[in-house]
């Protein structure tokens, strides 16, 4: 026998019929000899009867006296004959290749490796945020989202819901599952640990997929589960007394020691502990309210807060179980454990960092819980290789401390006092440190004595409780205001603008026939060949000339009647229209070549951009109102390479047309409902090169997008790129679609052609069609972040390279504590601060990070210089006086860039310096307010507005200086262009701008965002402008080489290759 599948059963009669039917499907495709052993734990329902009624599967049914899953599995193991044992659950529905995947992994990896399969929620199960949280965010149940495909994970992930182990290795451990565990939790981890000690490693294989059919709809029940697991952690520690905190990722000994100390204090009144108990109760009630809200509407902020509360609650109950069942303090009142657990987790942490090079990273540090103790004593061994200074963080919040002793022990006898040379304390006197204004108190020592083995620090703490309460109350008040504002303003709709509201029904099967009619047969064949080629993977779409009529009744026919061949849709536009029609039963599609909003579209003529259902009528009937039939349609805004500027007002062109709230169009009131087709057939596309899916949030006019396009242009000979965007484009953001089209790259705008709930479906289909080799996430979006685990699941056997962080403090980096992010394969840091944050704050391996600065087309800059640069011509083309001096800002007008504050600074500059004008270049959500502010200042002749400049580097070279006043940045491309053309920079201290500007003395970096300070800094900047110009000019040549797109493309290619090698 090759495989034995062991399934412990308890009261699953309602599910077993469906489960057995799924195993019948698995049985049909399984290539190896296997057996199913169902071991019933004395179910009180008719589970055994249901199982025994099945006679068409290779299975055995065992009955046991009630004793838990461990006892049932052990009994089943006695009958198992397979060389490989698969453990799975009675609520786990296996994917078709379940047994094949496990056994083939065993054949490939050998007996020293267990194979952990993936577990996802069963399709159709009623989901809630609690279920999403415990698997995708907090990972209290399963940690799959943080695992990398086909890599080793530690013994804590020995999940008996879906894991296989070689029989020969199971024979080496005594007793299989230990019966010492009386409640839920850690019996599987215990077996995993014993196997680990025998040399067995666990490899994560996401292809061995099982679907979990188990609804969690009670936060209290999951708290009980956590409490039970915490209690059994004591059993695990008792069975393995030498288990250390690095192995289990939890300091059990410290927790028990501090608990004993707390009990010895014998506090009659504990305001902190009792207040904490009440707070946990209130948090649970808040999550219930939030869950009810989220049943009806999608609130991103509330989801985020709810997950934060869940993480606190579930962690609390896990540790509470550890306190309840601690054998060292039996039979204590439960309220004492509750008091202490809250204190331990949430009231005081200290940390000691040690490092020879003074980097003070999290990996070389130790955390201690003070649990509210007034006298704290810490001890830590210092590795000889890291012997240097220490950084001592006395507490994780406001406090005052009195340092009683700080001693370095060279050996058990010899010791020396530790001297501290730096602190951020507000006041220091006689070893008393006042950190009442610091949320991160710090003391840094001088060099420790040579041969120091360990150190001890003892200190007295004033926790400044009142200040802490006030501080937290203010934070809660701010958060409350944000939540209330969100609720009063209405939620972020689950289906955004221009995304269709779908009826609950599903089209059984939809096929589309598109008949292309042209004014003559000249070039008709070539056009249809182009359309057919780009849509070749859409099996259910047929494209023909009008000479070949639709004879297939199963197809819905659409007519595309072209009046002018030069005005026909470009292939990528036709591709998006075809996919949209395949998914939804629209009566007509209108393609806009621009991003304007209804009722306006951009195109040469309405006829040349309209596809209409033959059943509705002809184009002429549509525009003449002759069809006398209601219809539903859609505008697709897919700009092409032609950059059409002609606008058409649909309300003038089509009688009785109007727009619905979901962005769809209607003529009269359609009787048919809008339905989604989830049964489309996709086929494989031919490929000659590795295919890279590029996933930006959108393709607006911005530095990230320009950099992405530049790199794709450079790497196009090595890879075939497919660009997929997810968020709706706004008109004021502009578009770089035309550059994608010019590169001949397939492009899909999901926000135009579909809706959020169907994105994953389309991604899976396209992944199959293109046989994707690598995924490059070059910017992120709320949908992508919320679906990061799904993205990892879809691309489970494909490397993912992520480049979505552009500032080391704000933006997507704030989500890098989510496990799903850590399942990606490589990380692109666009500056050194981000690189350091990845390693030090989030524990990402430095070997998995590539530092690649954004790049620009430096060859164009070289050419501009070689051909002779004409400043006057550049400015005159923009209607600017070449005799004047100009400073400028270039970027999106968003809160991040602070354009309103910059406008105020520009006012100060032009009013103080008569010969200087200021230019504001860009567009965005704050564009109108900027224009209003300039009008209010009556400075339209001095502060100039330009919405878009095509040749940025040419323009930047004409400036006296470039301004960046952002709240956060990486290293903006426009600053790179300034450095390459020799233009000085004035900036706030964001990203790596300061690193380059200060090191090369090519401008001024302000440490403050305050307008008064910015004005002072500008005056200093202007007084030294000549020096900055000279230095910028000297450094320009070396910057051209360093920031060249050629160099960046080589680095990116190297990163891609490293990621691909892992999957070969």
Mapped to the 3 state alphabet, what secondary structure does 952-994 carry?
HHHHHHCCCEEEECCCCCCCCHHHHHHHHHCCCEEEECCCCHH
What kind of architecture, by CATH, is found in domain 3-215? Alpha-Beta Complex (3.90)
Asked whether the domain spanning 691-851 has the same topology as the one spanning 3-215, the reply is no
**Residues of the chain below pLDDT 70:** 298, 479, 482-508, 521-522, 547-551, 628, 670-672
Class of domain 858-1043: alpha beta
Q: What is the reported pTM? A: 0.68
CATH for 691-851, options being 3.40.50.2000, 3.30.450.20, 3.90.25.10, 3.40.50.970: 3.40.50.2000
State how far the Cα of 13 lies from the Cα of 806, in Å rounded to an integer: 52
DSSP state of 594: S
State how far the Cα of 184 lies from the Cα of 894, in Å rounded to an integer: 51
Cis peptide before 665 (omega within 30 of 0): no
Q: Which helix (H) or strand (E) holds 785?
A: helix 782-786
Amino acid 181: pLDDT: 94
CB atoms closer than 10 angstroms to residue 653: 17
Amino acid 106: pLDDT: 97
Amino acid 300: pLDDT: 74
State how far the Cα of 1041 lies from the Cα of 859, in Å rounded to an integer: 9
Amino acid 496: pLDDT: 42
Kindly report, residue by residue over 893-947, the tens digit of the pLDDT: 988 899 999 999 999 999 999 999 999 999 888 999 999 999 999 999 999 999 9
Alpha helices, DSSP H, located in 499-627: 524-534, 571-583, 619-624
CB atoms closer than 10 angstroms to residue 914: 9
Q: Per residue in 1020-1037, is it b (16+ CB within 10 Å) or e — as a string?
A: ebbeebeebbebbeebbe
Domain extents for the chain? 3-215, 218-347+465-490, 348-462, 511-544+555-667, 691-851, 858-1043
């Amino acid at each position: 026998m090759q495989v034995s599948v062991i399934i412990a059963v308890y009261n699953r009669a309602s599910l077993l019929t469906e489960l057995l039917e799924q195993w019948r499907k698995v049985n049909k495709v399984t290539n190896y000899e296997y057996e199913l052993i169902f071991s019933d734990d004395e179910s009180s329902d008719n589970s055994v009867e249901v199982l025994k009624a099945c006679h068409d599967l290779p299975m055995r049914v065992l009955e046991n006296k009630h004793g838990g899953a461990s006892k049932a599995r052990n009994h089943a193991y006695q009958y198992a004959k397979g060389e490989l044992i698969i453990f799975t659950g009675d609520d786990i529905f296996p994917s078709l290749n379940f047994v094949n995947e496990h056994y083939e992994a065993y054949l490939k990896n050998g007996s020293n490796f267990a194979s952990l399969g993936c577990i996802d929620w069963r399709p159709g199960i009623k989901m809630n945020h609690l279920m999403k949280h415990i698997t995708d965010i907090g990972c209290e149940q399963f940690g799959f989202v943080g695992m990398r495909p086909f890599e080793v994970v530690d013994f804590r992930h020995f999940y008996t819901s879906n894991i296989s182990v070689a029989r020969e290795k199971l024979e080496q451990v005594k007793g299989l599952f230990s019966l010492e565990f009386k409640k839920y939790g850690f019996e599987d981890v215990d077996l995993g640990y014993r196997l680990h000690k025998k040399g067995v490693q666990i490899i994560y294989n996401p292809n061995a997929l099982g679907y979990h059919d188990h609804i969690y709809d009670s936060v209290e029940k999951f708290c009980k589960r956590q409490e039970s697991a915490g209690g059994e952690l004591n059993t695990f520690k008792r069975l393995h007394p030498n288990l250390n905190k690095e192995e289990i990722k939890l300091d059990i000994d410290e927790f028990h020691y501090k608990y004993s100390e707390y009990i010895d204090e014998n506090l009659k009144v504990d305001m902190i502990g009792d207040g904490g108990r009440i707070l946990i109760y209130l948090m649970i009630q808040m999550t219930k309210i939030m869950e009810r809200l989220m049943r009806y509407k999608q609130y991103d902020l509330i989801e985020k807060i709810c997950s934060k509360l869940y993480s606190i609650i579930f962690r609390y109950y896990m540790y509470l179980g550890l306190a309840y069942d601690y054998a060292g303090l039996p039979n204590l009142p439960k309220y004492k454990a509750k008091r202490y657990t809250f204190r331990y987790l949430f009231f005081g942490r200290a940390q000691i960092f040690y490092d020879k090079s003074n980097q003070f990273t999290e990996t070389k540090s130790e955390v201690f819980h003070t649990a509210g103790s007034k006298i704290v004593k810490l001890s830590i061994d210092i590795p000889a290789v890291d012997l240097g200074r220490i950084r001592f963080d006395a507490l994780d919040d406001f406090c005052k401390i009195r340092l009683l002793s700080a001693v370095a022990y060279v050996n058990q006898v010899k010791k020396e006092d530790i001297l501290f040379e730096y602190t951020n304390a507000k006041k220091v006197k006689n070893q008393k440190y006042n950190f009442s204004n610091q949320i991160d108190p710090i003391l840094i020592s001088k060099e420790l004595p040579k041969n120091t083995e360990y150190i001890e620090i003892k200190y007295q703490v004033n926790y400044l409780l009142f200040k802490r309460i006030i501080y937290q109350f203010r934070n809660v008040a701010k958060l409350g205001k944000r939540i209330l504002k969100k609720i009063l303003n209405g939620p972020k709709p689950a289906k955004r603008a221009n995304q269709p509201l779908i009826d609950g029904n599903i089209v059984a099967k939809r096929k589309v026939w598109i008949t292309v009619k042209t004014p003559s047969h000249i070039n008709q064949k070539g056009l249809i060949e182009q359309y057919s080629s780009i849509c070749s993977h859409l099996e259910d779409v047929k494209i023909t000339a009008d000479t070949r009529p639709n004879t297939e009744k199963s197809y819905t026919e659409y007519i595309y009647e072209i009046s002018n061949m030069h005005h026909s849709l470009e292939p990528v536009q036709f591709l998006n229209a075809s996919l949209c029609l395949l998914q939804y039963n629209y009566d007509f599609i209108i393609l806009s070549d621009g991003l304007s909003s209804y009722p306006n579209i951009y195109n040469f003529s309405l006829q040349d951009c309209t596809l209409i259902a033959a059943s509705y009528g002809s184009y002429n009937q549509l525009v003449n109102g002759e069809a006398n039939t209601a219809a539903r349609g859609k505008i697709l805004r897919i700009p092409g390479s032609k950059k059409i500027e002609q606008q058409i007002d649909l309300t003038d062109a089509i009688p009785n047309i109007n727009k619905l709230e979901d962005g769809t169009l209607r003529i009269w009131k359609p009787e048919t409902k809008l339905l989604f087709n989830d049964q489309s057939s996709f086929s494989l596309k031919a490929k000659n090169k590795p295919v890279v899916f590029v996933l930006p949030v959108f393709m607006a006019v911005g530095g990230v997008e320009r950099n992405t396009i530049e790199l794709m242009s450079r790497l196009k000979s090595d890879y075939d790129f497919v660009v997929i965007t997810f968020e709706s484009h706004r008109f004021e953001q502009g578009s770089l679609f035309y550059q994608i089209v010019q590169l001949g790259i397939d492009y899909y705008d999901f926000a135009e052609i579909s809706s959020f709930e169907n994105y994953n479906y389309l991604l899976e289909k396209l992944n199959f069609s293109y046989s994707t080799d690598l995924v490059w996430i070059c910017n992120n979006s709320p949908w992508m972040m919320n679906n990061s685990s799904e993205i990892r699941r879809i691309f489970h056997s494909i490397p993912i390279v992520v480049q979505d962080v552009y500032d080391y403090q704000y933006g997507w980096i704030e989500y890098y504590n989510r496990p799903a992010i850590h399942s990606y394969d490589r990380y692109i840091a666009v500056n050194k601060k981000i690189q350091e944050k990845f390693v030090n704050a989030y524990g990402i391996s430095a070997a998995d990070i590539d530092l690649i600065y954004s790049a620009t087309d430096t060859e164009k800059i070289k050419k501009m210089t070689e051909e002779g640069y004409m400043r006057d011509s550049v400015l005159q083309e923009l209607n600017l006086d070449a005799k004047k001096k100009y400073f400028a800002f270039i970027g999106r007008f968003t809160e991040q860039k602070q354009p309103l504050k910059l406008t105020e600074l520009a006012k100060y500059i032009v009013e103080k310096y008569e010969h200087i004008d200021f230019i504001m270049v860009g567009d965005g959500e704050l564009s109108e307010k900027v224009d209003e502010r300039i009008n209010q200042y009556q400075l339209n002749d001095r502060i100039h507005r330009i919405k878009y400049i095509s040749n940025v580097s040419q323009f930047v070279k004409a400036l006296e200086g470039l301004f960046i006043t952002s709240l956060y940045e990486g290293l903006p491309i426009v600053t790179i262009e300034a450095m390459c053309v020799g233009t000085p920079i004035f900036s706030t201290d964001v990203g790596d701008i300061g690193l380059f500007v200060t090191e090369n003395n090519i401008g001024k970096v302000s440490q403050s965002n305050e307008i008064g300070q910015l004005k002072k800094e500008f005056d200093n900047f202007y007084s030294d402008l000549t020096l900055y110009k000279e230095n910028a000019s000297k450094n320009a040549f070396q910057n051209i080489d360093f920031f060249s797109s050629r160099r960046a493309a080589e680095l990116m290619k190297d990163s891609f290759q490293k990621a691909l090698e892992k999957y070969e």
